[in-house]
Amino acid sequence: MAHVALQKLFFFRFGSAVINSLRAHQYSRLLSTTARRGVKLSTQLTVDELATVKINPERLWNTLHETCQWGQGQRWGKGETDVGMSRLALSDADKQVRDWFVETTKGLGCHVSVDEMGNIFAVRPGRKPGPPTYAGSHLDTQAKNKPTGGRYDGILGIHAGIEALKTMNDHDIETEFSTGVINWTNEEGARFPQLMVASGVWAGLIPLERAHSLGEVSGGTATQKSELERIGYHGSVRASHKTNPIGAHFELHIEQGQILESSKARIGVVEGVQAYRWYTITVTGRDCHTGTTDFQSRSDALLTAAKLILHSHNKATELGCLASTGILTLEPGSTNTVPGVVRFSLDMSSKEDQKLRALEDSLKSDFAKIAAGEDIGGVNALGTRGKGCSVEWVTDADSPSVKFHADCIACVEESANNILDARSDDQVLRMTSGAGHDSVNVSIRAPTAM
Ligand SMILES: [Zn+2]
């Protein structure tokens, strides 16, 4: 038994999304010393005792919605909580909810520190020194209009961690090593346009200077650094995994998709995150008057772009990937002018890096041919062949697939099964996340799962 490494950590129970007793296998050992009177050591709890340790779902629900008073977005329904969120990173509303986070976690006995990127680390001391096991997510949201920010994305992950701390306090539970909650700055990239930027700095993937100098998208003059300073969250702790290490990182998150619902599963055990690449593609033809230019004489950039987008969908289907266009702009934009320049975004994703590479390779070669008038996959089979267009690719983002830590995945799965054990097995589903999260960056430096 000496090396049995179990640290029962968090005990959550709320509605259908539940995680129970996450264990950081690698980071603790069974301690045989006797606990203080009345205080229970997490590793000495019996299975029966553990079963009685449950979070308070009403408390979690109420606290989460109370804090949504800061950064309210648009009302979308009649219900009390049917109001979206618009809590952009480092805004006044973000400061208010950060102040609440600090005050609340300090009140729970946590030591709270803030790093140079404004990441907040609330640590509930354990018995031994060593990197804490954290629940981490984000309190910032998307903007109110496009795309709409919700009340659970990121926010639930933070509140779940805080509720777990409250539950451990309620039951006088001590842990071998420290536990805690992290609020990562600007996960969304909605105001300062880089996703997961502050966890990226912590992981050593993004230089601090570059993150600090990132300007806001609305055309204002604020940078991430100036806003961190303005709201008082430019901390003194280095934003680095080297000086501020994490023992293990768990992130509870809403799915943001339909896989769980369509497979009738209730909890997803996330094994990793799919790879994605973003491009801006510029199709250049020539503007001309619609009424005076026959089809053979045109270099229609929009017609070509339409064929390329359709082909990206068809090819992605063939290779088992996803391809999507969410932005499209054209010039000059007049009813009786054939557009000469079209730019569109292309977001390609796959569980496997290899498939994504194959998709990119074939699209790069096919797009040039299609734009020149060659028929590939039927997109040029009908209609009139014109004079052709040129195609240029610019890579905007490249994120390889991520595989989470096997021990952490096993913890989440075991916990989920414990909660749902009265039900059938298929209510817990192993899956790959289709969206990026701070856990992607953290997983490079610490055992992680979602
Ligand atoms: Zn999120």
Q: 251 CA to middle of ligand 1, Å?
A: 9
pLDDT at 264: 87
Average pLDDT of the segment spanning 209-216: 96
Distance 160 CA to ligand 1 centre (A): 13
Q: How far is the CA of 299 from the centre of ligand 1 (A)?
A: 42
Measured between alpha carbons, how far is 254 from 429 in angstroms, rounded to an integer? 14
The rounded Å distance from CA 138 to ligand 1 centre is 6
Instruction: For residue 139, report the distance from its CA to the centre of ligand 1, in Å.
Output: 9
Distance in Å, CA 154 to ligand 1 centroid: 4
Distance 199 CA to ligand 1 centre (A): 12
CA of 263 to the centre of ligand 1 (A): 22
Contact present, 145 and 79 (Cβ < 8 Å): no
Give distance in angstroms: CA of 248 to centre of ligand 1: 18
Q: Quick check: helix, strand or coil at residue 330? A: strand
* Backbone CA torsion sign across 27, 30, 35, 41: positive
Instruction: For residue range 255-277, list pLDDT tens digits in order.
Output: 988 999 899 899 999 999 999 99
Given a cut of 60, whether residue 360 has pLDDT beyond it is: yes
Q: Residue 278: in which H helix or E strand, if any?
A: strand 275-284
Give distance in angstroms: CA of 40 to centre of ligand 1. Answer: 34
Cβ atoms < 10 Å from Cβ of 384: 11
CA-CA distance, 203 to 206, in Å (whole number)? 8
DSSP state of 148: P
User: Closest Cα partner for 59 from 154, 138, 162, 158?
Assistant: 162
Q: Give the pair of three-digit tokens for residue 417.
A: 């099964």
Q: How far is the CA of 218 from the centre of ligand 1 (A)?
A: 22
pLDDT at 23: 37
Q: What is the Å distance from ligand 1's center to 22 Cα?
A: 20
pLDDT greater than 70 at residue 69: yes
Give the pLDDT confidence score for residue 37 in this predicted structure. 52
Span from the CA of 253 to the centroid of ligand 1 (angstroms): 7
Please provide residue 156's backbone torsions phi and psi, each rounded to the nearest 5 degrees. -60, -40
Distance 148 CA to ligand 1 centre (A): 13
pLDDT for the residue 149: 84
Ligand 1: centre distance to CA 169 (Å): 27
Task: Kindly state the tokens that stand for 198.
Answer: 């502050």
d(C-alpha 231, C-alpha 146), whole Å: 25
- For residue 191, report the distance from its CA to the centre of ligand 1, in Å: 15
User: How many angstroms from the chain centroid is the CA of residue 321?
Assistant: 20
Query: 32 near 176, Cβ under 8 Å?
Result: no
Q: Distance, CA 26 to ligand 1 centroid (Å)?
A: 26
How far apart, in whole angstroms, are the C-alpha atoms of residue 416 and residue 419?
A: 5
- How many other C-beta atoms can be found within 10 angstroms of the C-beta atom of residue 363? 24
Which of residues 429 and 424 earns the better pLDDT score?
429
Higher pLDDT, residue 5 or 115: 115
Alpha carbon of 305 to ligand 1 centroid (Å) = 32
The answer to whether residue 51 scores a pLDDT higher than 90 is: no
Using the mean position of ligand 1's atoms as its centre, give its distance from the Cα of residue 437 in Å: 6
* pLDDT more than 70, % of the chain: 89
Dist. CA 255 → ligand 1 center (Å): 9
Output the CA 297–ligand 1 centroid distance in Å: 49
Host H or E run for residue 155: helix 155-170
Tokens of 304: 């070509």
CA 100–ligand 1 middle distance (angstroms): 19
Instruction: Give the single-character DSSP code of 448.
Output: E
What band does 36 get if pLDDT is binned at 50, 70 and 90? very low
pLDDT at 1: 29
Q: 225 vs 87, 101, 112, 125, 234, CA distance in Å? A: 18, 21, 20, 30, 7
Residue type, 151: R
Q: What is the mean pLDDT of residues 328-335?
A: 96
CA of 56 to the centre of ligand 1 (A): 23
From ligand 1's centre to the CA of 142, what distance in Å?
10
CA of 156 to the centre of ligand 1 (A): 9
152 CA to middle of ligand 1, Å? 8
Higher pLDDT, 300 or 265: 300
Q: What's the 107 CA to ligand 1 centre distance in angstroms? A: 26
**What average pLDDT does the segment 357-378 reach?**
98
Domains in the chain (CATH in brackets) are: 25-273+401-449 (3.40.630.10), 276-399 (3.30.70.360)
CA of 252 to the centre of ligand 1 (A): 9
For residue 32, how far is its CA from the centre of ligand 1 (angstroms)?
A: 39
The predicted structure's pLDDT at residue 144:
56
Place of tokens 């346009």: 193
Give yes or no for residue 17 having a pLDDT over 70: no
Which run of H or of E encompasses 395? strand 390-399
| Contact of 148 with 77, CB cutoff 8 Å | no
Give distance in angstroms: CA of 213 to centre of ligand 1.
23
What is the DSSP secondary-structure string of 192-228? SS-TTHHHHHHTTSS-HHHHHTPBPTTS-S-BHHHHH
The mean of the pLDDT values for the chain is 89
Closest CA to 315 of 355, 371, 258: 355
Q: How far is the CA of 157 from the centre of ligand 1 (A)?
A: 8
Q: How far is the CA of 188 from the centre of ligand 1 (A)?
A: 7
**Mean pLDDT within 146-166:** 91
Give me the mean pLDDT over the 195-210 stretch: 97
Question: pLDDT of 386-395, one tens digit each?
Answer: 999 999 999 9
Q: Is the pLDDT of residue 80 over 50?
A: yes
Contact yes or no for 241/204 (Cβ under 8 A): yes
Cα dihedral 290/295/300/304 (nearest 10): 140
From residue 347, how far is each of 278, 392, 394, 435 by CA, in Å?
5, 15, 12, 12
From the centroid of its chain, how far is CA 241?
19
